[in-house]
Amino acid sequence: MKTIASVSFTALLVACSDGGAAPASNDQGTQSETAQKNGETAATVEAGSNGTLNIYSARHYDSDKLMYEAFEEQSGIRVRFREAGANQLLETMRAEGENSPADLIIASDAGALWRFKDAGLTQPLPEGEFEQLIPERLVEPDRQWVGLARRIRGVAYDPERISPDQVDEWQDLADPSLEGEICVRSSTNIYNLSLMAEMVEQWGAEEAQNWANAVVANMARTPQGGDTDQVEAVAAGLCSIAITNHYYWVRMTQSGSDATREAAAATQIAFPSFGDGEGIHVNITGVAMAANAQNTDEAIQFVEYLLSSDGQHRLVDETKEIPVIEDVTWPQGLDAIPEFEDSDTPLDTFGERQSEAQRIYDEAGWN
């Protein structure tokens, strides 16, 4: 099996949390060792290398490295990758300018992908078979990115203190009866920004502002930590409702830690709708073509691989995201989540309304 060549960080990076990725505390050392072993540095990753694909990814999962290796074996194309938070990668590409070696950008939120597009760091994807494989909603209108996996923002709640009808709609979280019952992470997190962006699109800015004000009043504590921390807080009795992405909760149910599994077992997961049959908030992990990509044929081959049965399994089996291809078996543990129906809100809206979403949170005092 070929060795994947990873890229050491030599460009100036701006430290900023992306959210949603698994901890990457050991990734940098592993990548540097791999690069040194192969006699490679960031300077050797040259745009236009024959049979090479350069990926900038905001994901940090060991399974992704195996996915790259599987694609290498199948295609004969050598994969090189750089992993960091989405904002770090964006700043790196800005600094690299036209000399950026990036061919593809992978990020875990439509709002994050929009930031690359807004910065002029992407280009329209060439036509490919992938368009026939996924719903139209998962292809950005200007073909700047395509969705690879689905992720749902919902709530985990204590069934002994909260009934299902109290978390049936997002509006329910604004009820004064829930004062002191909600745990959630910072408003600056991209997942919360995308959620609020859809609320603005669905309800209008005034109603979205009222909701944010009421949720702040219902918080059990100052926003802190990640989604897993919120679920653990419910299990510890600090609150009774945690806003979380579905896969954090599913991964907790299958954790090797007894305490983590018990925390998940003390809660149930629900997917609030936007009311009036408007569906639920479903986001994506997606991929974009870099503006200065040279290896476009190789890039499209990789996108189409990720949208194959094998590619989908390798992409989501560890993360517990939801496949976007029909008839692909869902990862173990997803049978525990309730049935859902996506809203029809265009995913690029999550980025376009991002600034407005942050303004609403700021005015509500949601730090």
**Positions at the binding site for Fe cation:** 60, 247-248
Find the helix or strand (DSSP H, E) in which 245 lies: strand 241-245
Task: Give the span between the Cα atoms of 98 and 144, in whole angstroms.
Answer: 18
Three-point CA angle 353, 358, 359, nearest 5° = 95
Q: Are 125 and 303 in contact (CB under 8 A)?
A: yes
Read off the amino acid at residue 315.
Answer: L
Residues 50 and 47: their CA atoms lie apart, in Å, by: 9
Give the pair of three-digit tokens for residue 340: 């859902």
Token digits of residue 286: 């997606």
**Binding-site positions:** 60, 247-248
What is d(CA 183, CA 109) in angstroms, rounded to the nearest whole number? 21
Contact (Cβ atoms closer than 8 angstroms) between residue 174 and residue 218 = yes
What is the Cα–Cα distance from 367 to 23, expressed in whole angstroms?
23
Structure tokens at 260: 């983590």
Which region, left, alpha or beta, applies to residue 16 given φ > 0 means left and ψ of -120 to 50 means alpha? beta
Maximum distance among all alpha carbons in the chain?
A: 62
| Whole-angstrom distance, CA of residue 354 vs CA of residue 194 | 7
**How many Cα atoms within 13 Å fall on the side-chain side of residue 239?**
26
Q: Count Cβ neighbours within 10 Å for each residue of 282-317 and write b for 16 or more, e otherwise.
A: bbbbbbbbbbbbbbbebbbbbbebbbbeebbbbbbb
Closest by CA position to 116, among listed 307, 303, 356, 287: 287
99, burial (CB in 10 Å: exposed 0-12, middle 13-18, buried 19+): exposed
Q: What share of the chain is helix, strand, coil (3-state, %, to 5)?
A: 45, 15, 40
